[in-house]
A and B are shown apart, each in its own frame.
Chain A
Amino acid sequence: MNSKANKKYTVMWPTIFIAPFVICFLIFNLYPILYSFYLSFTDWSGVGEKVFVGWGNYVRIFTKDKTFIKSLWNTLYIMILGFPVSIFLGLIIAAFLSNLKKFRNFFQTINFLPYITTPVAIGLVFTFLFDWNTGVINRIIEAFGGEGVNWLGNAKFAPLVIGFMIIWKCTGYYMALYLAGITSISEDIYEAAKVDGASTIKTFFKITVPLLRPITVFIVLTSVIYALQLFDEPNLMFNVSTTSIIGGPDRSCLTMVWNFYDVAFGSTARLGYGSAIATTLFIIIVIISLIGMKFMNGKEEN
């Protein structure tokens, strides 16, 4: 093959085929990101002139804006409430299902269903479940002689409900990932452990869990990114009433993305400041992702 023909196959055709994506990426991803970065140095409501304010927006985020700091803590709190339990349960259910001879597909589907349920429906179902006056959960508590709890109106309990919602929704997804991982572990290893007299629990902790480490790292990393971008769950939960309090009771469920959305597109649109929050959020996610990637790569090298 001469060099001209070679160039055609190594340069021209690849360029032509990736061009549509690259063009779309530049127009719809990179340009808005850069424009948003530029906006973060301005004071602009979407109408009128943009006023350049330098680092003013960023200074305000970290020094004056208590709502941003609160939204950051809320996000981390909800993340800690929901995801570790969800991941752990996903692993346990996957381990049980992998040994199940009958109805495995049925239970797999049942567990996975919450993940594909539309968030709007989830929000509505949970508000009906946890309503203070008429919710099923409080009816059950009262049936056992307890007193109904204001789950959705109290700042202490509302994040717990969001955490529970995450567990309910994501466990099936993590189960599916772990199940795929368990299936790929060679049966020989389990048989060898059996021959050596290892108990089921010991096999689980000494063989299954360590060999699933890459999947666990992947799940943890994607969960953290998902958690930092949390918006749908709390927003839908507290958006069903006419009052629609932003961030739920005492803003206890105001996540970083919800805060950004409200600042940028709420009643007092502050696109410049909203862009600064978006950029800050982007940097936080990138830093955490890089740490996770490094952790993952480090483990692989080991």
Chain B
Amino acid sequence: MKLRKILTWGLASMLAATSLAGCGNSSSNADAKTPTGQESNAGGQQNTSGDAGSDVTTITYWGWDTNWYEPMIKAFEKDHPNIKIEVTNVAYSDYFTKIQQAIASGSELPTMVQQSCTLIANYKELGVFEDLTQAPYNVDPNKFFDFIKDRAMTEDGKLIGIEQSVSPSAIAYKRDLAKEYFGTDDPNELAKILSTPEDYIKYGKEVQEKSGGKTYLFHSGGAVAEWLYFADSTDLQNGKTLNFTKKMTPVMDLLVQMRDNKVVDTFENGTPQANATYAGDSHIFYPCPNWAITYYIKANDPDGSGNWGLMMPATGGYSHGGCSIGITNTSTDAEKAAAWEFMNWAFLTQDGVDVAKSEVEYYVPTKEFYEDASYASGEDPFFAGQDIGGFLYGEIAGSIQLPTPSIYDQTVIDIRDLLATAIMSDGSMTVEKAIEKGLEECQNRIMDDSIVIE
């Protein structure tokens, strides 16, 4: 009888224990922190920062950009055996949400955070990042390209991150089609032919006529809207005023003209079907940030080596995309030091910069490396020997002007994509209707009643 009782209690306890097994709270590690901020071994993690019994400091990183972090971390850890970086891959679309949830729930943030440029103003508001201009980091923002040095800077002068790579953007084109329809594949001559946005309409119509309706200048209205939007340095927000109409009208106006004259095809930007057009022969030009060369052009047209070129857009050079890496102020001192060692290596030392260049084709925003002309310059056989590095990081990067980031950047970008899709799918959608719709969307999505949407 007694045995049965013991057995019953034992089973009941096991049941309760297994039910609650998954309920462990990661914040228990926080309890294990000593008053100095160093973690003791009580958290149960091996090789945690500040662990008295080990020389290895483990830090955490959340990122979506496997292309960058895998080779960078591998090379860094090889040179720095005392630091281990644990990575959690988080999808780009979920990233900011996950950071917010971690803060709201009080759970542990990663030591290093990847801050998307379209949400950089939102990251600034979180208040969870180290000011990299202060000790022990002492970063001088003037080290970086002028157009980019202030992007991750808060109004009160705190630098919350360092840009992973500059993102100068131009227009890529297929040389065989350019020769066929424009009589030249020289980037400078093409830039002269297409020197104003209106030229794209004029020549787009000609290309349509010559090809019997088969060939378009661009493949996607979304891609064109993206280019035109990012190329416009008008500030989206001035104080409490959101300049939606001013910012969006020129973009939608040109897009409507392009649609009406069949300058742009109807593929939806970024879909597998749209990506397949890179290897096709029906679209000549593609708005092209530096990262798109690896992710889109080379990935989707591996047999196109030698057939690509890069030219100056009629809008001038612009910046598209990019992100910063920041260190969270909730990390321990040892973690912060280890994270800085990685960032310093990645962005400010020749070793890290060389790895980024050779493995990922990323170029850091640190100006001093460009003093060596061979750093970014060089003939690229994929682009028929064109010096695309020198073009992107010299000519384009030197001419970029960025608008001041707004916490509504991502919201308005989403509305821009919505309008571009509506324009491309509905032939009767005018600029006025599109802007009206956009303003209504802004009213619905921006809850702050003190913001005046114009």
A residues contacting B by CB (< 8 A) are 16-17, 19-21, 23-24, 27-28, 45-47, 60, 65-67, 127-128, 131-135, 150, 152-155, 239-246, 249-251, 265-271, 273
Q: Of all chain B residues, which has the CB nearest A21? A: B19
Contacts of B104 in A (CB 8 A): 46-47, 271
Known contacts A131-B273, A245-B417, A249-B422; decide if A67 and B444 are in contact (CB<8 Å).
yes
Give chain A's interface secondary structure class: loop
CB pair B444 A45 closer than 8 Å: no
A202 to chain B, nearest CB (A): 48
Give chain B's interface secondary structure class: helix
CB pair A241 B268 closer than 8 Å: yes
Please tell me if B373 contacts chain A, counting CB pairs below 8 Å. no
State in angstroms the CA–CA spacing of A132 and B277 once bound together: 14
CB pair B440 A66 closer than 8 Å: yes
State in angstroms the CA–CA spacing of A245 and B101 once bound together: 22
5 CB-based A-B contacts, threshold 8 Å: A47-B103, A47-B127, A240-B272, A242-B270, A269-B100
Known contacts A23-B20, A154-B426; decide if A244 and B93 are in contact (CB<8 Å).
yes
CB pair B418 A245 closer than 8 Å: yes
CB pair A265 B266 closer than 8 Å: no
Please tell me if B407 contacts chain A, counting CB pairs below 8 Å. yes
Contacts of B444 in A (CB 8 A): 65-67
- B93, B420, B437: the one contacting A239 at CB < 8 Å is B93
State in angstroms the CA–CA spacing of A66 and B446 once bound together: 12
Q: Mark B179-213, 1 if CB is under 8 A from A, else 0.
A: 00000000000000000000000000000000000
Please tell me if B12 contacts chain A, counting CB pairs below 8 Å. yes
B residues contacting A by CB (< 8 A) are 12, 15-16, 19-20, 23, 93, 96-97, 100-101, 103-104, 119, 122, 125-127, 222, 265-274, 276, 407-408, 410-411, 414, 417-418, 420-422, 424-426, 437, 440, 443-447
In the complex, number of A-B residue pairs with CB atoms less than 8 Å apart = 120
Q: Of all chain B residues, which has the CB nearest A273? A: B447
CB pair A45 B271 closer than 8 Å: no
- A17, A127, A250: the one contacting B418 at CB < 8 Å is A250
CB pair B126 A47 closer than 8 Å: yes
A140 to chain B, nearest CB (A): 16
State in angstroms the CA–CA spacing of A242 and B289 once bound together: 14
CB pair B445 A17 closer than 8 Å: no
State in angstroms the CA–CA spacing of A268 and B410 once bound together: 8
- B12, B100, B266, B421: the one contacting A17 at CB < 8 Å is B12
Known contacts A17-B12, A47-B100, A249-B421; decide if A267 and B410 are in contact (CB<8 Å).
yes
B10 to chain A, nearest CB (A): 12
State in angstroms the CA–CA spacing of A158 and B303 once bound together: 35
Q: Which of B23, B270, B421 has the most CB of A within 10 A?
A: B421
Contacts of B407 in A (CB 8 A): 268
State in angstroms the CA–CA spacing of A249 and B429 once bound together: 13
Contacts of B443 in A (CB 8 A): 66
Q: Of all chain B residues, which has the CB nearest A158? A: B425
Q: Which of B96, B270, B414, B437 has the most CB of A within 10 A?
A: B414
State in angstroms the CA–CA spacing of A13 and B426 once bound together: 67
